[in-house]
Homo-oligomer: A and B are copies of this chain.
Amino acid sequence: MMAEKEELLHAENRTDLALEAGERLRNENVVPKGLRVETLNVEQADAEITRVYVESEEAARRMGKPMGVYITIEASSLAGEDKAYHQEISALLCRQIRGFLPACKGREELLVVGLGNRAVTADALGPRAIDHLAVNRHLLALYGVKSTASGDNDCVTVLSAIEPGVMAKTGIETAEVVASITDRLKPDAVLVLDSLAAGSVSRLYSTIQISNTGIAPGSGVGNHRSAINQETLGVPVIAVGIPMVVDAATIVRDAVRSAGDSGRSDEGRRVDSQKRDCRRDWDNSDRVRGGSVSPNLSLEEFRNMYVTTKEIDEMTERLSFTLSEAINALTG
């Protein structure tokens, strides 16, 4: 029970953005040692870059995030249609990813992983980004280096991509699929693209997080079961994500409180409902239901809900393109 409360408290703080997690600690005046933040304005692109360094076990525990570096690009107009702006952000994102990549010695091989469920619009960012990707590994295999646009470059970037799908459909953990392909292709690094959950509506569609920590269990809209990181794959894993949903637990929590006592009698409902006649039903209905959410939702149910917006399809399409362009630019 105590644990439940603990968990709920933690649930309420769920965000995939290190920036938000840090702000919350700051708001609670409990910034641990080993948590550092740097901000850098990027005038030309009307964007702001923040780096969050999680450098101690304690910081990681408090943040609920693995140790490592988390870069956030806050691009207030990212939800908009302006193509030039999206190109600028793609270029900016490309440089941030490059900064995490090992130095290229003539040739580098990158495996891009599109996480998520294509059938759920809010979770389709990764798979749709793969659709726009200019993979070239098979071409290089056939025609050799000459055929690449970057033939005149001193580093040839070889791109391949997979969409591991969802466990309910494959019966295989996403992390297992990624590890299998990585073992075989032995890329120099793995880029993982995913839809994120933010704690604040203001983050939706306007924030890009790039980290060198890979994917932690429970993160993403799909709540991945196992870690996908350098430890599990044996090569650097760079995670790139954009918040497409807001964690509902965060928002619902307060609403639940407001549902108050009415919750208690909810058990009674199923019992009553059999011997109810029309009048009594109506009289009871305020006891029976009401409150803006079912007051006895389990934690599991909280975890299971998210908030999104009506433009989710348009946003997923637009932002998946911005991500893929940044990655395509790595080969430029």
Contact = CB atoms under 8 A, between A and B. Distances in A.
Contacts of A167: 138
A176 B184 contact: yes
Contacts of A291: 200
Interface of A: 12, 20, 22-24, 26-27, 37-41, 48, 50, 76, 117, 119-122, 130-131, 135-139, 158-163, 165, 167-173, 176-177, 179-181, 183-185, 199-202, 221-223, 246, 248, 250-255, 257-258, 270, 273-274, 276-278, 281-282, 285-286, 288-294, 297, 301, 304-314
Contacts of A257: 254
Given A250-B255, A273-B48, A313 B119 contact: yes
B307 A307 contact: yes
B162 A162 contact: no
Given A119-B313, A169-B135, A201-B297, A290 B23 contact: yes
Contacts of A41: 273-274, 276
A171 B113 CA distance: 12
Contacts of A122: 121
A282 B201 CA distance: 20
Nearest to A182: B180
Contacts of A37: 278, 281-282, 285
